[in-house]
């Protein structure tokens, strides 16, 4: 069988080809799956998508009409997929329920340290042989407070690193993680976390309940010199409210690996284009803001695990088996996806 994979990064392609070698052929495409590119999948029973794919009802209908019966998404998040529509069409939808949490947690810390110690600004200066320290003063993190929203696998990995730095730990989640509590984390209402944390980091899925969790009220509650890091989903942060807070001179640093309107921007070279997203354009003008393009997961360890899980999802679909990654199985919607 030949599988078509959309949104494949150059460095990701050999991982996919090796993982499927001896099983199936893979047609790797750099274009993202959406309503314009969905017709490419005509005749392919199995399609693989990336995190920025548009798998709304209309796209799924186009795929189904072309013979697609299974979509294997190479990410944990699935807020971009209309699961009800997929079930109505009798399709199967798989994702990757987990992969190396250290990839994301370590990158979140890289971002936090970069904005705290002004590393990007310093590197730009020294490349121009400007070795002044003006405006580059950071802060020790030891003894300060890390606020972790979402203490699952990735949040726990972040917490362990924070504990190693000697930080006080505040957490917020629907279910407390006893391993985080054992490190000294105190679970508190999120309003208190926003008010007391020097470093706020987000490790939550994007749902109706978590969309714009960091809104104007949350930003107003945060310390003027707090650092905000988001390596989870862009929609967790109300970007317009964040821009207003930054314009008011608040927050000492913001590091975003995700953006709520990133689809069509991230993973593309738009350097010669006119960017009509005024909110993102304004965000990028702040010297204390660092934006990267959804790369926190992008290590050989994590990508290897993601591709292996994708192979498992495809093989289980073909063998009429199910597993923890399946969100829809031949039109049946498991309780976890409801």
Positions of the chain with pLDDT under 70: 335-338
- pLDDT one-digit tens code per residue, 246-274: 999 999 999 999 999 998 899 889 999 99
Q: Are residues 77 and 140 in the same domain?
A: no
Q: Are residues 120 and 262 in the same domain?
A: yes
Task: Determine contact, residues 122/114, Cβ cutoff 8 Å.
Answer: no
Q: Are residues 81 and 211 in the same domain?
A: no
Q: Are residues 267 and 212 in the same domain?
A: yes
212-247 burial, b for 16+ CB within 10 Å, e for fewer?
Answer: bbbeeebbebbbeebbbbbbbbbbbbbbbbbbebbe
pLDDT, residue 112, reads: 98
- pLDDT one-digit tens code per residue, 310-328: 999 999 999 999 999 999 9
pLDDT, residue 335, reads: 46
Q: Are residues 37 and 116 in the same domain?
A: no
Q: Are residues 56 and 147 in the same domain?
A: no
pLDDT, residue 336, reads: 46
Number of structural domains the chain divides into: 2
Instruction: Look up the CATH number of the domain holding residue 55.
Output: 3.40.50.720
Q: Are residues 315 and 274 in the same domain?
A: no
Q: Are residues 88 and 116 in the same domain?
A: no
Domain containing 165: what range? Answer: 101-291
Q: Are residues 321 and 284 in the same domain?
A: no
Catalytic (active-site) positions:
233, 262
Q: Are residues 70 and 181 in the same domain?
A: no
Q: Are residues 14 and 70 in the same domain?
A: yes
pLDDT, residue 337, reads: 43
Q: Are residues 67 and 134 in the same domain?
A: no
Q: Which pair of tokens denotes residue 74? A: 């190479």
Please tell me the pTM assigned to this model.
0.92
């Amino acid at each position: 069988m030949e599988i078509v994979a959309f949104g494949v990064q150059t460095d990701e392609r050999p991982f996919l080809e090796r993982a499927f070698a001896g099983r199936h052929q893979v047609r790797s495409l750099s274009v993202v799956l959406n309503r314009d590119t969905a017709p490419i999948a005509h005749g392919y029973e199995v399609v693989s998508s990336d995190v920025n794919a548009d798998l709304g009802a209309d796209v799924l209908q186009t795929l189904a009409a072309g013979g697609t019966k299974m979509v294997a998404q190479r990410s944990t998040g699935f807020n971009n997929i209309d699961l009800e529509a997929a079930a109505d069409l009798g399709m199967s939808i798989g994702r990757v329920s987990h992969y190396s949490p250290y990839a994301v947690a370590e990158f979140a810390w890289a971002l936090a340290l970069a904005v705290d110690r002004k590393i990007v600004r310093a590197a730009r200066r020294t490349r121009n042989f400007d070795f002044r320290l003006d405006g580059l003063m950071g802060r020790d993190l030891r003894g300060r407070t890390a606020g972790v929203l979402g203490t699952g696998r990735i949040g726990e990995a972040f917490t362990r690193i924070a504990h190693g730095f000697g930080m006080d730990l505040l957490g917020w989640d629907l279910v407390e993680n006893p391993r985080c509590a054992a490190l000294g984390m105190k679970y508190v209402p999120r309003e208190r976390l926003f008010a007391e944390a020097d470093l706020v980091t987000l490790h939550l899925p994007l749902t109706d309940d978590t969309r714009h969790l960091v809104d104007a009220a949350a930003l107003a509650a945060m310390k003027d010199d707090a650092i905000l890091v988001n390596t989870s989903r862009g929609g967790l942060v109300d970007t317009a409210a964040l821009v207003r807070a930054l314009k008011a001179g608040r927050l000492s640093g913001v590091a975003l690996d995700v953006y709520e309107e990133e689809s069509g921007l991230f993973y593309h070279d738009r350097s010669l284009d006119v960017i009509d997203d005024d909110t993102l354009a304004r965000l990028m003008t702040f010297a204390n803001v660092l934006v990267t393009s959804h790369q926190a997961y992008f290590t050989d360890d994590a990508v290897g695990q993601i591709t292996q899980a994708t192979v498992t999802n495809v093989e289980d679909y073909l063998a009429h088996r199910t597993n923890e990654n399946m969100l829809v199985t031949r039109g049946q919607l498991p309780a976890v996806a409801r």
